[in-house]
Amino acid sequence: MSIIKYSEKFKNSNRLLFTTPSHSQGEIIAPGSMKMLGKTVFENDFSEVDGFDNLANPEGIIKETEEKFAQIYGTRASFMLLNGSTSGMIAAMLATLRKYEKVLVARNCHISVFKGLVLSRAFPIWLLPKYNKEWGIFEPIEPEQVEEVLKKNRDIKVFIMTNPTYEGLRADIFKISQVCKRYGVILIVDEAHGALWNFEGSFGVPSVNLGADITFQSLHKTAGALNPSAIMHIGRSSVIDPQAVRNALNLITTTSPSYPLMMNIEATVDFLASGEGQRQLTTLKNNITDFIRAIKDSPSIMIYTGNNDPTKLLIRVASLSGPELSEILSEKFNVEDELSNDKSVLFLTGIGTTKKKLNRLLKVLKQIASDNITLTVHNNEQGDFKISEPRVKYSPGEIFNKKSVEVEQKYLIARVSMETVINYPPGIPILLPGEVIRKEHLPFIKDKETFKVLDNV
């Protein structure tokens, strides 16, 4: 039986619970909570009481619900994540990597990989994606790049990459997975931004269908679920033991999982897989197509249309830089974007993005483009940048909690960074803790009087 159905049944059973949670399914609710959340969420908030199964070792309704997901997604196993894709990445790394083992990581990864490196104590080899100067973004990782590194480093165990990239660019996962298989390397794909792909093929093809071993998707990002709901998958042909993933998830998951969140995940997936959900996705797809067409009709507005997920709208307006456009949108039009780089601005859409919302954005962009709005913002042009492969002296796990010391700029070269530096451009880490500081890094930290480095004593 599904979690939702069981909850409905249980509420009619009149069972007397002397268990947590202490609000007793909404008998007492703080007025502020009642006002903001309503009663229903409390009525559905249970502990792992009679029949509610156990997320750490599911044998009943949770098992059945996750098996339903595995069928819907065509996977060997699927897991609910109650702490976002972040927890998916950490669990994937803990399940596949041991201390000192080498992991190849595409540098345009999310901070969750860094957390996974700290916890797994694995050693990172970084792969730099190519930079697209025109749009200020990183290109997808290419299979040849992966092969080149794997050929030279036969002891790499796992390759971690993001697909789609934050801006929606899609890599050739099939070819990359073939390369990984040839070298006996496990492929983990962070698909946080691809939660609609299983249900709308024109947005993208799920990596798990193309040979990835482990993937996860944030259902809150594009699929309409509450923060921070996500789902994790193991590919049908993967050698990964689902129990190893479950064990890793148990290490980092609360022992009081939220049933309202689990029900929300179940309802979201059920909806996406339903006819009504399909209709909603078709509407979204059509609205985005209309939006893109309208943008293309405007000579001074450009939208990125390469091999990308069209729900991520990457836009440039006339001669404005990304930060200039972003500031005008925010200050003059009350519009907030997801992020900007030196060239373009990213707008995220998802299942809840209505035609009305898109039309408002279109109108605003057209107005900015035609009004020639005078700028009161700073010119954020940062010019060219150069970064080469990081020199990792200590892995993030080795360096974590080590003593640091503040050092002046002029003494930084050859010291080991204890700080993370991420600048736009290029929008990926320039320095991470444990990496050796070189001359090329200094322009990125020139505004800091002192910088934290490893205390050598």
Ligand X SMILES: Cc1ncc(COP(=O)(O)O)c(C=O)c1O
Binding site for ligand X (CB under 6 A): 84-86, 110, 112, 162, 166, 190, 192-193, 218, 228, 230
In the bound complex, what is the minimum distance in angstroms from residue 438's beta carbon to ligand X? 27
Let me know: does 299 contact 316? Beta carbons within 8 Å: no
In the bound complex, what is the minimum distance in angstroms from residue 188's beta carbon to ligand X? 11
- Residue 58 vs 228, nearer CB to ligand X: 228
Residue 455, CB-side half-sphere exposure with 13 Å CA sphere? 8
- Residue 86 vs 344, nearer CB to ligand X: 86
In the bound complex, what is the minimum distance in angstroms from residue 437's beta carbon to ligand X? 26
Let me know: does 231 contact 269? Beta carbons within 8 Å: yes
Q: Which residue is nearest to ligand X (CB)?
A: 84
In the bound complex, what is the minimum distance in angstroms from residue 444's beta carbon to ligand X? 22
Q: At what angle do helices 259-273 and 275-296 cross, to 10 degrees?
A: 70
Let me know: does 308 contact 300? Beta carbons within 8 Å: no
296: which 2 tokens? 């293309």
In the bound complex, what is the minimum distance in angstroms from residue 314's beta carbon to ligand X? 14
- Residue 48 vs 190, nearer CB to ligand X: 190
- Residue 115 vs 343, nearer CB to ligand X: 115
- Residue 82 vs 416, nearer CB to ligand X: 82
Name beta bridge partners: 80: 231
- Residue 60 vs 228, nearer CB to ligand X: 228
Strands (E), 185-332: 186-190, 214-218, 230-234, 301-303, 312-317
- Residue 289 vs 307, nearer CB to ligand X: 307
In the bound complex, what is the minimum distance in angstroms from residue 215's beta carbon to ligand X? 11
In the bound complex, what is the minimum distance in angstroms from residue 228's beta carbon to ligand X? 5
Tell me how far apart the alpha carbons of residues 330 and 427 are, in angstroms, rounded to a whole number.
Answer: 21
332: which 2 tokens? 């003059």
In the bound complex, what is the minimum distance in angstroms from residue 174's beta carbon to ligand X? 20
- Residue 112 vs 395, nearer CB to ligand X: 112
DSSP string, 57-119: S--SHHHHHHHHHHHHHT-SEEEEESSHHHHHHHHHHHHH--TT-EEEEESS--HHHHHHHHH
Distances in Å between the alpha carbon of 86 and those of 82, 232, 240, 338, 443? 10, 11, 19, 18, 31
Conformational region of residue 125, where left means phi above 0, alpha means psi within -120 to 50, and beta covers everything else: beta
Let me know: does 189 contact 161? Beta carbons within 8 Å: yes
- Tell the residue number behind the tokens 């204890």, with chain if given: 418
Tell me how far apart the alpha carbons of residues 147 and 156 are, in angstroms, rounded to a whole number.
Answer: 11
Let me know: does 146 contact 174? Beta carbons within 8 Å: no
In the bound complex, what is the minimum distance in angstroms from residue 91's beta carbon to ligand X? 12
Pairing state between β 230-234 and 77-81: antiparallel
In the bound complex, what is the minimum distance in angstroms from residue 313's beta carbon to ligand X? 16
